[in-house]
A and B are shown apart, each in its own frame.
Chain A
Amino acid sequence: MSRLDWRRWLPTTLAPFVAILIAAAISSIVLIGSGKDPWRAFSSMLEYAFGERTGPASMVDMLNRATTFYLSAVAVAIGFRMGLFNIGVEGQFRLAALLAGAFGAATFLDPVPGPIRIVLVIVVAMVVGAAWAGIAALLRVYRGVSEVISTIMLNFVGGSIFAFLLTEDYLGVKQPGSENVTTPILPADTWMPSFPFPNTNQRVFGFIVIAVLVGFGYWFLLGRTRFGFDLRASGMNPTAAVASGVDAKKMIIATMLISGAVAGLVGLPGLLGRDHAVTTSVAGFGFTGIAIALLGRNHPVGIAFAALLWAFLDRTRIILDLEQIPQETIVIMQSVTVLAVVVMGELAARFSRRQQQRSVGRATGETTVERPSVAVAGAGVENAREGS
């Protein structure tokens, strides 16, 4: 069967779009149910995001949000592709952002020039994220503790450490004229340069470049390296991977460390590009990342679209207030979309598998193959662990 056989790629490519249509339909039903006109809601959302007056500022904001979402989702997706569930991006990125932010503002770094300091901040964040994820990896490899549970527990522990360190006794300072405790403000030469955008004075995070690089690195690592091949093989069929010489323990540790290192970057676009200090409100992107990774089917480009879609929905929720529609409708749209994408993905994979089996059946003279138990090449992949 050729690689470009339509049975193989068409269903799985179409599935996300069908799913989004289904999600839009369900959201419309919800809106109609609460006595609102879905068409007006959607068009005012689009108007707010891309219209002449509010469009430019909205688009910058969406790009900036999507940058953060993208990094978080890639961190999750790296684990997903090998069947590891890093639910702990939340804890990893919060600790990483806090320590990197405090490090970047530390006085002993004063003689270091800004650009080098930015690099150091990024390195510290990646190391901290990887270390926190590494605990879960070690527990999994040496003590057999499921990473799902350990990363969830580590989220809570990380949250406590974050709250403990971000006090005036340790890493925090009170900003003048405010009661909020934050890390000291980064020196101005450590602020990341940003890009202008036509028709608005809002600026696009410079970190978007790094997010694109991370996406490219993710694609290259998975699709073009031996490591990536081993990783995907371990995700699709761990037994077969081990039998063909993949060191499962090493793979788990390496994957978790990489995932954690990328997770460490999640807090940096906001830190280096907008806030220049870590506040207690640096939170919540970890779970969003899981949803977006699922939505983007773990594919580097798919995740980018998913992150933009998510950012669009997040940005335009405020406009719903003007239409007297509860903002919570957006959260329902987002989660229904994720569920629809996941279910459609599974159905598409099943459909494509059956079509492939049919065609093999025809080719071998068995025309009545309904549901053979023998898996055909390329059919062993299942559900969300698979990329599109």
Chain B
Amino acid sequence: MTTQTLAPAAEAPPAVARARRTRRLLLLVALALVAISAVRIVTGATDLTSTGAISAALAAAVPIGLAGLGGLWSERAGVVNIGLEGMMILGTFGGAWGALTFGPWGGVVAGAVFGALGGLLHALATVTFNVDHIVSGVAITLLATGLARYLASFAFTDIGGGPTQSPVVPSLPKWSVPGLGWLAGIEQRGWFLVSDLAGIVRGALTELSALTVIAVILVPVSYLVLWRTAFGLRLRSCGENPKAAESLGVNVYRYKYYGVVISGALAGLGGAFLSIVAASIFREGQTAGRGYIGLATMIFGNWRPGGLASGALLFGYTDALQLRRGSESVHALLLFIAAVLAVIAVFQFRRGHRVVGIVSVALAAGALLWYFTTDQIPVEFVRAMPYVITLVVLALAAQRLRMPAADGQPYRKGEG
């Protein structure tokens, strides 16, 4: 495993390699943009890059991304956190209750605190009592579901809600980057690429909830703290090799606690976003599995903040399209998926992975066939799309992913 990670560094100095990677990434993004724009022109599915779709995508990506960041903090410290869903549920209640009691910012804090309490429980079970991480996570999700209902029945019954629903909560301020109004005109024109860019920029920079901005900032902050500070190095060392960390004087238990509690707070923040910003109300079941999706984005983001953020955006995007004439928009997207799969197939063949290449070609042909034989996709399939994409991505890329070496493994101080 060590040789694997060292190999690229031996070929080129890290800075050069990083610059090359960034260049390649930017090229890919530009190509994807051109392709999407072409698909929009060909199919007339204007919602693919409209301001509304992009800002909806961003709003849908935020809770997933926050859950994914939560997963990142926990798993980097070596604790698998499948209880993210439960911590999010606690966050939805905490957010709504806090917002009703102390105002919207109070809700943000309360959501994070409730999530952190869930994280603390997970840390207690997995780190102190050494319970299997998956088992504890499942139990915590179960507990959170009941607890949120129980607390909601006390908190909301007298003020016009009940165990499954809260009254409308006060909302957070919205921010816009000033001076972007003229973009709307360009977006209307329907020009190739230019209008798409206008729609994307306008969607991404105007009418942003304050919590969205905070969530976006938290991605680079997580990267900086985890990869550029001594604290982060120690925390990650607990996920890679706790015994080595212990031998260097790191208090592994304490760092695992830090990781899991921060993880819970981030998931709780994601929950608070759902109840304060997305729905303006606490409703039972409103997380709808987003904690699990966050976990999935973290995995196919290869346990890195940038990767998980792009995963969250992908989910958010399909999620948002679903709400905006989903059947047509996602139908148009089939064309894009076919193109991407074809490109993947070419690369796989050139690398000599024949089987993966053939599978990709077959999938691409299937997507193409589907596009030409139908006019729209049943709404149920649109809903399933993000999960299928996750499965396909994991199936195609799982070997290239590398999780923290000691992730999910039990650790006892002084044993070994």
Contacts and interface: CB of A to CB of B under 8 A. Distances in A.
A349 to B, nearest CB: 9
A294 B150 contact: no
A153 B387 contact: yes
Interface residues of B, number: 46
Nearest to A159: B384
Given A157-B388, A157-B391, A343 B131 contact: yes
B251 interface: no
Nearest to B157: A326
Given A291-B142, A342-B139, A145 B398 contact: yes
Contact of B163 (A154, A328, A350): A328
Interface stretch (B13-21, B215-223, B266-274, B408-416): B408-416
B394 interface: yes
Contacts of A244: none
B129 interface: yes
Contact of A149 (B136, B138, B296, B416): B296
Contacts of B209: none
A342 B146 contact: no
B381 to A, nearest CB: 7
Contacts, number: 140
B143 A332 contact: yes
B378 A164 contact: yes
B114 interface: no
A371 B415 contact: yes
A383 to B, nearest CB: 4
A342 B292 CA distance: 22
Nearest to A373: B415
A173 interface: no
Q: Chain B interface secondary structure, helix, strand, loop or mixed?
A: helix
Contacts of B365: none
Nearest to B355: A142
Contact of A160 (B132, B383, B390): B383
A52 to B, nearest CB: 31
Contact of A328 (B139, B153, B398, B410): B153
How many of chain A's residues touch chain B, expressed as a range? 35 or more
Interface in B389-409: 390-391, 394-396, 398-399
B284 to A, nearest CB: 10
Interface in A324-361: 326-332, 334-336, 338-339, 342-343, 346-347, 350
A347 B129 contact: yes
A346 B143 contact: no
Nearest to A288: B142
Contacts of A382: 130, 132, 410
Contacts of A153: 296, 387-388, 390-391
B225 interface: no
Contacts of B384: 156-157, 159-161
Given A160-B383, A346-B130, A371-B414, A328 B150 contact: yes
A336 B138 CA distance: 12
A339 B147 contact: no
A210 interface: no
Nearest to A331: B146
A163 B379 CA distance: 10
A36 B295 CA distance: 39
Interface in A371-388: 371, 373, 382-385
A149 B135 contact: no
Contact of B391 (A150, A163, A164, A339): A150
Contact of A329 (B82, B129, B150): B150
A385 B132 contact: yes
A143 interface: yes
B130 A144 contact: no
Nearest to B154: A34
A159 B387 CA distance: 11
A77 interface: no
Contacts of B147: 331-332, 335
Given A139-B394, A143-B395, A157 B139 contact: no
Contacts of B139: 291, 294, 335, 338-339, 342
B134 A334 contact: no
A143 B150 contact: no
Given A153-B387, A291-B138, A342-B139, A373 B416 contact: yes
A330 B143 CA distance: 10
Nearest to B124: A343
A152 B399 CA distance: 20
Given A154-B391, A346-B130, A339 B146 contact: no
5 contacts: A139-B394, A145-B391, A291-B142, A331-B150, A334-B146
Given A157-B387, A328-B153, A331-B146, 12 more contacts: A139-B398, A143-B398, A144-B398, A149-B299, A329-B150, A335-B145, A338-B143, A339-B125, A343-B129, A347-B129, A382-B410, A383-B135
Interface of B: 82, 121, 125, 129-132, 134-136, 138-140, 142-143, 145-147, 149-150, 153-154, 163, 289, 292, 295-296, 299, 378, 380-381, 383-384, 387-388, 390-391, 394-396, 398-399, 410, 414-416
Interface of A: 30, 34, 85, 87, 139, 143-146, 148-150, 152-154, 156-157, 159-161, 163-164, 287, 290-291, 294, 326-332, 334-336, 338-339, 342-343, 346-347, 350, 371, 373, 382-385
